Chain A
């Protein structure tokens, strides 16, 4: 619950929504191990994806993903006790190709001890103008159930919808770009049932006390993303990304990244720098002036003003290519990557510093994300 925060919907759709209109996605299988380590939180587990074409016009995809969480994050150690939990997720999808049109449907189920989520998604992609342009329309519906581990009677509903439109455009012989626009609506219980806000309390030894968070029951957000990848004069590529995001909670963000891809013999090396800056939600405060000071209140650091920086290094090695295939396997590769994440929180105090109230230093997060995966094409 602490990790997923009900937002996994968007990420899981990525497995389905990379549209390849006019041609079905390649048959492939991926076996990935992931490890997130930072801020007192360790999350690891596998992700397995298998995609297989059946006949000339159908392709099926399945994904199984596990998060094993061991958390002693700053939120946990200041207001609760360290915990461990496990989340399992599986997805099934199908693509149907007819002429230049690809229709995709998918279903994702996620289960953990205190949160169940079901997601249904549908998209249509159309190739146009001599396959220079691909237009994709997508819709997803999320049906979540929020529970609380220490209260078996607690059960709240959360409904989500995502409307998306995307355009992929070949601009020149060396340049391809995409533009995506997504509107997301959430309705229901958006709180984290375990999180608290703090407020001034002169009767407390610390000078403050805690009370439960209280979020609005609705949230609508819009995101506009632009991406372009360019083939350099020598065999290498550079990619630029930008995203503008805004929502009805007053969070506004700019996210930009630049990626460089360089192949060398059977290796492909990738370096990436990503920058993200956001304002805080209107009901966020690090320290409220009194109990029940506002109609809505939250001290979720992810909803606070922050700036994050990520530096990525990735290396892939192709150990099997189409000239030396093994039986039905045409190609195989192994990839390892590390993403080094640093987050500066501009209005979230580090209470573990035990400084006098109001003088606490701002919290900073450093985390490393490791991935190793094998990919096979057949």
Chain B
């Protein structure tokens, strides 16, 4: 199970990149910029308090055996 997941990870990473960058150029935005007022509300910010989030991540990583998977992306809803 674990080896399979690690192997899947090595394959998944480049596939996600290639898949995301190719062949999708004809997709039309289905949520128009003028429809993003709710997404632009501060209560919808995925991480409105970066200092606090970073600190709590540190606490959890010190108290548990797991790590990562929570921060490579975020925000960026293009609605500011």
Q: List the interface of chain A (C-beta within 8 A of B).
A: 3-5, 7-8, 10-15, 17-23, 25, 30, 32, 34, 36, 47, 49, 63, 65, 123, 125, 127-138, 162-168, 170, 172-174, 176, 178-184, 220-225, 227, 229, 231, 235-237, 239, 241, 243-253, 255, 261, 263, 268, 276, 278, 280-281, 302-303, 306, 308, 335, 337, 339, 341, 343, 365, 367, 369, 371, 373, 375
A223 touches B66 (CB 8 A): yes
B43 touches A237 (CB 8 A): yes
Residues on B with C-beta less than 8 A from A133 are 20
Closest to B10 in A: A183
Residues on B with C-beta less than 8 A from A239 are 46
Distance in angstroms between the alpha carbons of A135 and B53 in the assembled complex: 21
A166 touches B74 (CB 8 A): yes
1/0 contact string of B50-73 vs chain A (CB within 8 Å): 111111111111111111111111
Chain A to chain B contacts (Cβ below 8 Å), 20 pairs: A4-B62, A14-B57, A18-B74, A22-B78, A127-B76, A130-B29, A132-B29, A137-B72, A164-B72, A165-B16, A170-B78, A223-B66, A225-B70, A231-B38, A245-B66, A247-B2, A251-B66, A253-B66, A261-B43, A263-B43
Residues on A with C-beta less than 8 A from B50 are 14-15, 18, 30, 49
A170 touches B2 (CB 8 A): no
Interface bracket on B: 35 or more
Q: List the interface of chain B (C-beta within 8 A of A).
A: 1-2, 5-6, 9-10, 12-13, 16-17, 20-21, 24, 27-33, 35-36, 38-39, 41-44, 46-47, 49-80
Residues on A with C-beta less than 8 A from B79 are 131, 170
Distance in angstroms between the alpha carbons of A134 and B39 in the assembled complex: 15
Contact of B69 among A4, A32, A223, A231 (CB under 8 A): A223
A308 touches B76 (CB 8 A): no
Known: A173-B38, A173-B39. A341 touches B63 (CB 8 A): yes
Q: Would you give the shortest CB distance from A364 to chain B, in whole angstroms?
A: 13
Residues on B with C-beta less than 8 A from A163 are 13
Distance in angstroms between the alpha carbons of A133 and B63 in the assembled complex: 34
Contact of B51 among A63, A127, A224 (CB under 8 A): A63
Known: A127-B78, A134-B76. A11 touches B9 (CB 8 A): no
- Give the top 8 A-B pairs by smallest Cβ distance, nearest first: A166-B73, A131-B78, A223-B69, A130-B29, A164-B72, A166-B72, A225-B69, A134-B76
A373 touches B2 (CB 8 A): no
Contact of B76 among A15, A22, A223, A245 (CB under 8 A): A22
B33 touches A237 (CB 8 A): no
B44 touches A173 (CB 8 A): no
Residues on A with C-beta less than 8 A from B38 are 173-174, 231
Q: Would you give the shortest CB distance from A242 to chain B, in whole angstroms?
A: 10
A47 touches B55 (CB 8 A): yes
Closest to B28 in A: A130
Q: Would you give the shortest CB distance from B37 to chain A, in whole angstroms?
A: 8
B55 touches A229 (CB 8 A): no
Residues on A with C-beta less than 8 A from B42 are 268
A14 touches B41 (CB 8 A): no
Known: A14-B54, A181-B13, A237-B43. A168 touches B67 (CB 8 A): no
